Amino acid sequence: MVFWTRIACLLVTVAIYPTLFLVSIVIQYAKTSLPPGIEQPFKLRFYQSIMISLLLLVSVDLFWYDVAQLESVYRKVWMPDTSLLIQEQQFDGVPVKIYQPKKPAVTKRKALLFFHGGAGTYGNVAQRLSTLFRRRTDQQQNASIRSTNAGVLLAFCAMTVARKRPNADKYHTDASCVTVCGDSCGANFATKICQLLVDRTDVPKIQAQILIYPGLQGMDFYLPSYQQNKDIPLLWRKLVVYWTCRFLNKSTSVVNDVLEGRHVPEDIRTKYQKWVCADLIPEEFKVRGYKPQDPALRTFKPKVYEEMKQVLEVTFSPLFAENSVISKLPQACILTCEFDVLRDDGLLYKRRLEENGVPVTWFHAKKSIHGLAILFGYGQQEWLHSPAINLPY
């Protein structure tokens, strides 16, 4: 029954998708602004149209599972990867995909645990990891990469990391040399996991964290990057809160109120402004325009706060962690993109880490957008600036 349901979903999806794609093109041209001088604008608009069409499909849950598999199928058919041994496993019920070089290891390999993006609601372990790290893994011949679903509960994610030693022996990886990594909301998960485990003595210490355009706070959506890049692909300002509501299973009717900050009580705003504030963003990142929010626009609404108070907790907003936690974190590599609404989240976390003595390697892609990591690995279809980023391992 499940098989035939999936077949039916796929057939219906294929039948209606061309119409949805045409509608998406119209929406994209009406609502999207491209940065001046951006290269390959038509290819970028094409990618944005695909994303919008998937947003339209997601409203019909019946089709979503099959749509999430399309990229995986594309890669298997047109871009098979024969250099890696790929296994699908479950660690304590958490779906995990393991990538290892086929060449036998002489010594135990380093381990990298990757949490993919997708707003915690879209994607699977088969998608992003291979495009971002498989080439690097093949070159190193000394790394084992594990990708986990971003939609699982954070507690399960932490459990996966905490119990890696038995799995490390099985897969010939060094449990004392673990790097945690993620992109977008996956970077949020990776950040929080590092924070959760800093005082654990019963598990190996995480050696490093790699945060690729991370989203790290749910309080201030008027930071310069949110204003400057509000309509730039692939992540609009409004979509940040929309996907947050979807992830937390909240009503999307509060999106506009949250964007204006009406979910934040004054005492919480005052408490965390020392860490999340436009005044802390370097002036060079304000030259494209920034206007402080009119305080009258953020009139507090208790009902909105009750609905969305979870975004003001440190479990959702790792930027709110105390200095006593931040100071114990492992060394970090952070990638930010100039034309990304989440840019300033990364800049603010970089500042916090450095102020607490944590070594940070920072890469800033001056001509790139949110999602650049998923826009390469497609041959002629990849976006120009995507492969220009060199991530250390």
| Contact (Cβ atoms closer than 8 angstroms) between residue 356 and residue 275 | no
Cis ω for the linkage preceding 234 (within 30 of 0): yes
**Sign of the four-CA dihedral 95, 101, 104, 107:** negative
CA distance 162 to 201: 10
- CA 109-114-115 angle, to 5 degrees, is 165
Largest CA-CA distance found in the chain, in angstroms, rounded: 64
Contacts of 336 (CB under 8 A, 6+ apart): 213, 342, 343, 346, 347, 350, 362, 363, 364, 365
| Contact (Cβ atoms closer than 8 angstroms) between residue 49 and residue 21 | yes
CA distance 229 to 261: 18
* Amino acid letter, residue 66: D
Residues marked as catalytic: 184, 340, 370
